[in-house]
Amino acid sequence: MSEAQTRNNKIKTFIGCIIAATFFWLMNVLNKDNYAIKINYPLRIEYDQQAFVPMQPLPKRVSVNVSGDGWSLLQKSWLNFNAMPVTYKVLNPNQSSYINSTTLTDQITSLFPNLRVNYVVADTFELSFERKLRKIIPIRVDSLSINMREGYVISSVINVSPSLISVDGPMSIIQSYPDTIRISVPTSKIQNNYDETLPIPFPMSPLVEISHKDVYVSFEVAQFLGDQKEE
C-alpha cells in the first residue's frame, strides 16, 4: 500500500471517529431531562367574523417556554412546521383588549403532554375589535360636470352599473363614508355615444370590503341643430 493511500485511510478513519463520537454525544444529550427552551408555536384566534373586525393584525404564533427531555424538545422545536395550532377563542371581542395568558397556557399544556409548560411569553397579546357594519351606497353620475362639445347634447338616460355598492368594515370607518357617491366623467368635448368603465372615487382601507371598485357609465349623444332662420 502506498504512503498516499495509507494517509487517506487514516483521514477517513479519523473522520469516522469524529462522526461516531458526535452521534453518541448527541444521543446522550437528547436522552437527558430538564432542558428548557423557548419555542414559537402556531396560534389561531377564533372570533365571530360575521359581527366583528380586528383593527390590527392578529398574532399567528406564540412564544412558549417549555422544559423536558431532549427528544421531546427536538420534536416540538424543529418539527412543529405542521403542528396543530393552539386555538384561542375570543368570546366577547368588543370587550377583549388582550389575550389571557393563563387561559392560553392551559390550552398549550394540553397539546404538550410530554413537556412542562413553564410560561407563555406575553409580548404581542393586544387585541382590538370593532363591530362590523354594512352600508349600501348609491352611485350617481355628476351630469352637470359632463363636458360636451359645442352643439352636442346627451340624448338618453345616463346608465350606471352597478347603481349600488355595498361596503363592509369597522363601524367607525363605514359611518364616515358618504351616503351617495358621485362619479365624474373625465372625458372632455364629448360628441359620440359614451361608454366607459370608471373607477369609484372611494377611500380604500385594508379593513373594508367593497363589492365593486369600478362602474360602467354609458349614454347616447346627439347633435343639437337648433332653429335655423330662413334668409
pLDDT at residue 184 in the model: 93
Can you tell me the distance from the alpha carbon of 8 to that of 136, in angstroms, rounded to the nearest whole number?
Answer: 81
* DSSP-based three-state secondary structure for 111: helix
pLDDT at residue 124 in the model: 61
pLDDT at residue 97 in the model: 83
Q: Is the pLDDT of residue 187 over 50?
A: yes
Q: Is the pLDDT of residue 152 over 70?
A: yes
When mean pLDDT is compared over 67-71, 77-81, 99-103, 125-129, the highest value belongs to 125-129
pLDDT at residue 147 in the model: 95
CA angle at 176 for the pair 170 and 179, rounded to the nearest 5°: 115
Rounded mean pLDDT, 115-132: 79
| pLDDT tens sequence across 22-71 | 444 444 444 555 666 777 788 889 999 999 999 988 888 888 877 766 55
| pLDDT tens sequence across 18-30 | 554 444 444 444 4
The residue with greater pLDDT, 197 or 114, is: 197
The residue with greater pLDDT, 108 or 24, is: 108
CA angle at 214 for the pair 210 and 215, rounded to the nearest 5°: 115
Strands (E), the chain: 35-46, 52-54, 61-68, 86-89, 116-121, 129-141, 152-154, 159-161, 164-170, 181-183, 194-199, 209-210, 214-219, 221-223
Percentage of the chain beyond pLDDT 70 is: 73
pLDDT at residue 17 in the model: 56
Query: What letter would DSSP give residue 207?
Result: T
Can you tell me the distance from the alpha carbon of 158 to that of 196, in angstroms, rounded to the nearest whole number?
Answer: 12
| 80 confidence band (pLDDT: 50, 70, 90) | low
